[in-house]
Amino acid sequence: MENKLNWVQEQLDELKQAGLYNTIRTIGSAQGAWLTVDGKRVLDFCSNNYLGLANHPRLVQAAKDAVDRYGVGPAAVRTIAGTMDLHVELERRMAQFKGVEDAISLQSGFSANLTVIPATVGKEDVIFSDELNHASIIDGCRLSGAKIIRFKHADAGDLEAQVKAHMKDYRRGLVISDGVFSMDGDIAPLDKLYEVTQRHDLMLMVDDAHGEGVLGRGGRGIVDHFGLHGKVDIEIGTFSKAFGVMGGVAAGNAGLIEWFRQRGRPFLFSSAATPADVAACLAAVDLLEESTELVERLWSNADFFKKEMKALGFDTGHSVTPITPVMLGDAKLARAFSRELFEEGVFAMALGFPTVPVGKARIRVMISAEHSMDDLEQGLAAFASVGKRLGVV
Ligand SMILES: *Cc1c(COP(=O)(O)O)cnc(C)c1O
């Protein structure tokens, strides 16, 4: 019998055939170097818990105290009755941490892109977007109704050529790039992109989701890394990666930030972040401002791991950050590799299309400050043994 939902099973079967079906594993413990995954104790090599803050005692305590004082829910959107002093304090602290005029706290990094992009440009405008930008940037661009022109990945020359060819047809222009590209671990040439925006009077926005807490002095992000303070109009950030919690932020020019408070749709129409989350984020800012120790340990762990993986013969791409892609190419091979690693007690998920291009499947290892030298050695041994067994190295 024909049925209006037959397509669903067909599509799911197609994904399975192509090796692109996501089998979602379930975590039964707090985040950390070791996790209980599907009931098994394994070394965690794939979460975004860069600094180990997701279960840090200071953040946990701050969240508990906030629940005692403010309860669990915000009960409203920010513009009606949902703005607590905690939200305002987080905005003040983030502006200070990033060295910008103002910041707006949002519910997630994804929602930050949906807030900012459609509020900044519309139908008469043009967006120049790096071809490898994150899905939430792509969706924000589409929602804005602006013309979207993609420039070659991390290529300021191509950006300028596109600007010269197209800008004359539009009112305002906005250049958007990821700061750190999460699948490859390379970084945007922000200094060169900035020069192009200067020459052509364009707005510049960077999504620093994987740069905050990682790049720059004490994890202040990509703008700090390049010393471009005051020159990037909008920095998007997330509290769900190095900060270990949940939430988003847009930071930068005070006028723009105020405009987002007036016209950012997820800000106006989706409830505020919870008190526990916001209080934990504040504790994370405290920790980062107090000491650079965690950021330094993250980098030394990542440098060690990458060097040893190369010595074993793995192709780790061209990452310049702690993100370590292990390039395998074929999606089925990547999934088999991930399954065998799991058998060896290492949790590292395979990534395939549409997260990465077809034929560029990989295992993306996320090194953390939480990993001990023993953890890293154990992970390397598992990679070596699976890599030999599957004929990769
Ligand atoms: C992870 C990520 C996001 C989404 O952040 P969430 O807070 O998890 O919603 C947005 N942009 C980029 C570049 C990211 O890597």
- Kindly give the parts of the chain with pLDDT less than 50: none
Residues 240 and 368 in one domain: no
Question: What average pLDDT does the structure give for the chain?
Answer: 97
**CA–centroid distance, residue 312 to ligand 1 (Å):** 31
Alpha-carbon gap, residue 139 to 134, rounded angstroms? 9
Residue 173, Cβ neighbours under 10 Å: how many? 22
Residues 230 and 296 in one domain: no
Cβ neighbours for 304, distance < 8 A, ≥ 6 positions apart: 373, 376
Residue 350 included in any domain: yes
What CATH number is associated with residue 366? 3.90.1150.10
Residue 3 included in any domain: no
pLDDT digits (tens, 9 = 90+) for 149-199: 999 999 999 999 999 999 999 999 999 999 999 999 999 999 999 999 999
Q: Please give the torsion angle defined by the CA atoms of residues 262, 268, 273 and 274, in that order, rounded to the nearest 10 degrees.
A: 120
Residues 281 and 330 in one domain: no
Alpha-carbon gap, residue 112 to 105, rounded angstroms? 8
Residues 372 and 297 in one domain: yes
Among the options 87, 134, 210, 360, which is catalytic? 210
Residues 366 and 269 in one domain: no
Q: pTM of the predicted model, to two decimals?
A: 0.95
Residues 201 and 238 in one domain: yes
Confidence at residue 163, expressed as pLDDT on a 0 to 100 scale: 98
**Partner residues linked to 361 by β-bridges:** 329
Exposed/middle/buried for 161, CB within 10 Å: 0-12, 13-18, 19+?
middle
Alpha-carbon gap, residue 183 to 153, rounded angstroms? 13
Confidence at residue 271, expressed as pLDDT on a 0 to 100 scale: 97
Q: Into how many domains does the chain fold?
A: 2
Residues 352 and 308 in one domain: yes
CA distances, 23 to each of 26, 77, 107, 172, 191 (Å): 10, 34, 27, 43, 40
Q: Please say which residue of 222, 256, 290 terminates a domain.
A: 290
Residue 2 included in any domain: no
Residue 165 structural domain: 57-290
The answer to whether residue 371 is catalytic is no
CA distances, 118 to each of 28, 343, 367 (Å): 38, 45, 34
pLDDT digits (tens, 9 = 90+) for 316-355: 999 999 999 999 999 999 999 999 999 999 999 999 888 8
Cβ neighbours for 227, distance < 8 A, ≥ 6 positions apart: none
Mutate to test the pocket of ligand 1, among 48, 50, 136 (most ligand atoms within 8 A of CB): 136
Residues 106 and 175 in one domain: yes
What CATH number is associated with residue 158? 3.40.640.10
Q: Please say which residue of 244, 275, 290 terminates a domain.
A: 290
In the chain, the amino acid numbered 393 is: V
Ligand 1 interacting residues, C-beta cut-off 6 A = 108-110, 134, 136, 178, 182, 207, 209-210, 238, 240, 248
**CA–centroid distance, residue 265 to ligand 1 (Å):** 18
Confidence at residue 1, expressed as pLDDT on a 0 to 100 scale: 62
Residues 377 and 299 in one domain: yes
142 token code pair: 């589409």
Beta carbons of 144 and 117 less than 8 angstroms apart: yes
Q: Please say which residue of 260, 290, 320 terminates a domain.
A: 290
